[in-house]
Amino acid sequence: MAEIEFYGSGGIGFFGMLTILFIGLKLTNNIDWSWLWVLSPLWILWSLILILFIIGIIIAWVVS
């Protein structure tokens, strides 16, 4: 029988772990940040992905 191997990231990642840390610190009153900044690792990550995607589209458009 053949084995199926899966090579995924297998983890939560840096930004996910940072978000969990910030939420824990906020809920235990160790930081007095707004929820916007507590959840910032999530929106910063998606913003970077969107920016890179747009740059890729622009480069593809210029090259073709």
The answer as to whether 21 is a domain residue is yes
Within a domain: residue 26? yes
Could you tell me if residue 32 is inside a domain?
A: yes
| CA atoms of 50 and 36, how far apart (whole Å) | 19
Residue 21's domain comprises: 14-63
Query: Does the residue 3 lie in any domain?
Result: no
pTM score, two decimals? 0.69
Q: What are 14-34's pLDDT values in tens digits?
A: 899 999 999 999 999 999 999
Counting the structural domains of the chain, the total is 1
Residue 24 in any domain: the answer is yes
Predicted pLDDT of residue 6: 60
Instruction: Confirm whether 53 is domain-assigned.
Output: yes
Q: Is residue 4 part of a domain?
A: no
Percent of the chain with pLDDT strictly greater than 90: 73
Residue type for 2, please?
A
- CB 38, CB 18: distance < 8 Å: no
